[in-house]
A and B are shown apart, each in its own frame.
Chain A
Amino acid sequence: MIDPRLNRPFADLWRELPPARDFFLLQGLPQPLPDQTPAAYFAGLGSEVLTEAAASASDLAQAFARFLAALATLETDAPSVASLTILGGRDKHGRAENLELTLVPGDVAALVGPTGSGKSRFLADIEWLAHGDTPTGRRVLLDGHPCDAAVRLSASGRLIAQLSQNMQFVMDLTVTDFLLAHAESRLVADGVGAAAEVIALANELSGEAFSPTTALPALSGGQSRALMIADVARLCASPIVLVDELENAGIDRRKAIELLTGSGKIVLMATHDPLLALLAGRRLVFAAGAVAAVMETSPAEKNCLTALAAADARLSALREALRHGRQLRFTHEGDDHA
């Protein structure tokens, strides 16, 4: 059957489905004219072009029709999640894992335990929406239900956004161009506005402001991290964010976590930083490949947070002093800069 779209001018197709243009670029075909129809375009291709494309005119027309059909069904966004439930499986020794954990948007959970205790496997189980079919035997439910294979495949790689201290920007673009590229990939209507908002948020998080025209590779560690956090909070569709440690590079980490939870994310933090861990409502303690305990952050622990934050601020102040070439002073009484 002939796709009716092949008989409409390209100008119409471009308007409805702008990425349809990519087909010609990708195949190395000459760009069609706006008032041409695909049917006429393909029929008019010369033999040299067809040889180069290694296909007949009708093959190409069919390939274009398939490309259009597939583009129209492309989902750009991750599934929205009202609740995430993880049901225990078993540990490395085959013992049952006693776990029934439900997280909702805005929840923050810390993952703690030594290397090899099962944190990565736990995240992989969530990302693949495990259904008793991974080595742990865990089951992961979205909104209380198991997901079928099609949902699992399409969610693959989109469910969990990651913020890790190993990550770097590799693109050689200015901050604005980079954010516009990200907004474009999400089909965000007002890309310029979104980019400006992300930059403002990032500058709030990091001590040292950067400009929209700064090149990504020129950002400091703290600025990069702040930009990544603000970008994930505002421009990333994934409902779950994994924070894999957040170094203290002059970023207001409490504000960073609040920004993520305020954007409706479920936040998982793999961290052994007490200040960060205490921001979580509970801690999952990993051992032997399973969650050995779920600890609620107690009121007493929450109380420690004030003192810890003060100690952290003192250390940050010392860093600032170093940066500005001042003498360091650090006393038991806390009057470092008296």
Chain B
Amino acid sequence: MQLLTVAGPPSSGKTSILLRLACVLARRGRSLGVVKFDCLASRDREIFTQAGIPCLTGLSGALCPDHFFVCNAADAFAWGQGRGVSVLAIESAGLCNRCAPHIEGVLALCVVDSLSGIDTPAKIGPMLRLADVVAVTKGDVVSQAEREVFAFRVRRANPRATVLFVNGLTGQGAEALAHVVGAAPDTTGLDGATLRFTMPAAVCSYCLGQRKIGLDHQMGNVRKMDFGQDAS
């Protein structure tokens, strides 16, 4: 089975792109399965199921969504194998920009939206910086020049990535994406695989449910900002 990790800010078009990808794969006799990690409620399972794509959603709820994702990644892989899909996409919603779900040896896709501003490529960190493919969406509503400037900033942030314009509405660009996915390595399992980037360190009192603000209530891995002399 081929595996693909998908990351990108919320509402950047990850789901639409996967739906388009599934169409192209289906034409080539291949099937897509999706495991979607999300923080809160997600309607995506319904959308994928309607399109005939096997999908499982995992909600992290009160847990750190990134840690939740890693703890379940190998099981997600096994689920995909059990369903017999040819390509499994593991999608993690926005999460925090400090994180990336990308795994060594597994095709990593980042989805960014060209409406999100030209500083976004530099701001969203490892999920873009460590991706193999960057799909730029919503390019049909911004001017050609802005499309080009955006793609340029993406290439500067990650010069090793293949940058594709994919339109979730019309499907333009989905063929190119399917081509890249088709060339992805075959993965036999995620046991022992390595994340491309470490997850954020945590374990402070707030991880354990503390809600009170103030020095007396902060314990564990706490870091204080420097507010200069004036702060007291």
Q: Which residues does A use to contact B, with CB under 8 Å?
A: 19, 22, 25-27, 51, 54, 66-67, 70-71, 73-74, 76, 120, 123-124, 127-128, 130, 133-135, 149, 152-153, 156-157, 161-164, 166-171, 178-179, 181-182, 184-186, 224, 228, 231-232, 235-236, 238
- 0 or 1 for each of B178-212: is its CB under 8 Å from A? (1 = yes): 01100000000000000001100100000000000
Q: Establish whether residues A232 and B144, one from each chain, have CB atoms under 8 Å apart when the complex forms.
A: yes
Q: Does B159 contact A (CB under 8 A)?
A: yes
C-alpha gap A169/B118 in the complex (Å):
12
Query: Closest Cβ of chain A: how far from B176's Cβ, in Å?
Result: 5
CB neighbours (8 Å) of A71 from chain B are 156, 159
Q: Which residues does B use to contact A, with CB under 8 Å?
A: 27, 115, 117-118, 122, 125, 129, 136, 139-149, 151-153, 155-157, 159-160, 162-165, 170-173, 175-176, 179-180, 197-198, 201
Q: Establish whether residues A166 and B144, one from each chain, have CB atoms under 8 Å apart when the complex forms.
A: no
- Picked from B117, B145, B160, B179, the residue with its CB within 8 Å of the CB of A235 is B145
14 contacts between A and B (CB under 8 A): A124-B172, A135-B27, A156-B162, A156-B176, A167-B140, A167-B141, A167-B142, A167-B144, A168-B143, A170-B143, A170-B146, A185-B149, A231-B145, A236-B145
Query: Closest Cβ of chain B: how far from A218's Cβ, in Å?
Result: 15
CB neighbours (8 Å) of B180 from chain A are 153
CB neighbours (8 Å) of B175 from chain A are 124, 128, 130, 133-134
Query: Closest Cβ of chain B: how far from A216's Cβ, in Å?
Result: 9
CB neighbours (8 Å) of B140 from chain A are 162, 164, 166-167
Q: Establish whether residues B157 and A182, one from each chain, have CB atoms under 8 Å apart when the complex forms.
A: no
Q: Establish whether residues B122 and A25, one from each chain, have CB atoms under 8 Å apart when the complex forms.
A: yes
Q: How many A-B residue pairs have CB under 8 A?
A: 119
C-alpha gap A51/B198 in the complex (Å):
10
CB neighbours (8 Å) of B115 from chain A are 170
Query: Closest Cβ of chain B: how far from A291's Cβ, in Å?
Result: 18
- Picked from A51, A67, A231, the residue with its CB within 8 Å of the CB of B143 is A231
Q: Shortest 7 CB-CB distances between A and B: which pairs?
A: A70-B159, A185-B152, A157-B165, A54-B198, A182-B145, A70-B160, A156-B176
Q: Establish whether residues B141 and A166, one from each chain, have CB atoms under 8 Å apart when the complex forms.
A: yes
CB neighbours (8 Å) of A236 from chain B are 144-145, 148
> Across the two chains, which residue of chain B brings its CB closest to A123?
B172
CB neighbours (8 Å) of B162 from chain A are 153, 156
Q: Knowing that A71-B159, A156-B176, A170-B146 are A-B contacts, what are 12 other residue pairs whose CB atoms are under 8 Å apart, sorted by A's residue number?
A: A26-B129, A70-B160, A124-B170, A128-B175, A161-B144, A162-B144, A163-B144, A170-B115, A182-B149, A185-B151, A228-B145, A236-B145
> Across the two chains, which residue of chain A brings its CB closest to B200?
A54
A66-B160, A162-B140, A178-B145 given; A124·B171 CB < 8 A: yes
Query: Closest Cβ of chain B: how far from A187's Cβ, in Å?
Result: 9
Query: Closest Cβ of chain B: how far from A288's Cβ, in Å?
Result: 18
